[in-house]
């Protein structure tokens, strides 16, 4: 039986998320090229990394939810910069007893007024 140490598992997970981050950046480059004109690639990578970190921290169980969170961060960066003024975002994300699918749907609805099926 093969045993993977905790450090090895963390390295594997980090590698997987790094690969996913690159896929998201590529996706945003092709689907929303304007993002790379104004804020530049460094900002796109920054917000993508933040979305991944938030997804991991708040127990999102789907990479699609992390991608949607990144999209919201690009669309509404001011909402994610001011944690005091927009505490409701962080409170909703922290409600881990609510499935991540539902939290993401509520977040999208509250921020955009759109009802989505995730």
What is the per-residue pLDDT across 62-115, written as a single tens digit (0 to 9) for each?
888 888 888 888 888 888 888 788 899 999 999 999 998 999 999 999 988 877
DSSP 31-53: H-THHHHTTHHHHHHHHHHHHHH
**Nearest alpha-carbon partner for 49 in 68, 70, 32:** 70
Percent of the residues in the chain that have a pLDDT greater than 90, as a whole number: 17
In angstroms, the CA 69 to CA 104 distance is 8
Higher pLDDT, 3 or 85: 85
Rounded to 10 degrees, what is the CA torsion of 70, 76, 82, 88?
A: -80
pLDDT at site 11: 60
**Nearest alpha-carbon partner for 17 in 48, 39, 40:** 48
Q: Please report which confidence band the pLDDT of residue 1 belongs to, taking 50, 70 and 90 as the band edges.
A: very low
**What is the average pLDDT score of the chain?**
80
- pLDDT over 70 (residue 53): yes
3-state class of 13 per DSSP? helix
């Amino acid at each position: 039986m093969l045993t993977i140490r905790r450090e090895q598992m963390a390295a594997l997970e980090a590698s997987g998320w790094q690969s996913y981050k690159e896929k998201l950046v590529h996706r945003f480059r092709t689907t929303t090229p304007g993002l790379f004109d104004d804020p530049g690639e460094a900002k796109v990578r920054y917000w993508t990394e933040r979305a991944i970190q938030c997804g991991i921290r708040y127990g999102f169980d789907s990479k699609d939810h992390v991608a949607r969170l990144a999209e919201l961060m690009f669309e509404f960066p001011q909402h994610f910069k001011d944690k005091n003024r927009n505490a409701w975002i962080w409170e909703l994300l922290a409600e881990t007893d609510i499935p991540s699918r539902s939290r993401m749907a509520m977040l999208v609805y509250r921020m955009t007024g759109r009802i989505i099926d995730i």
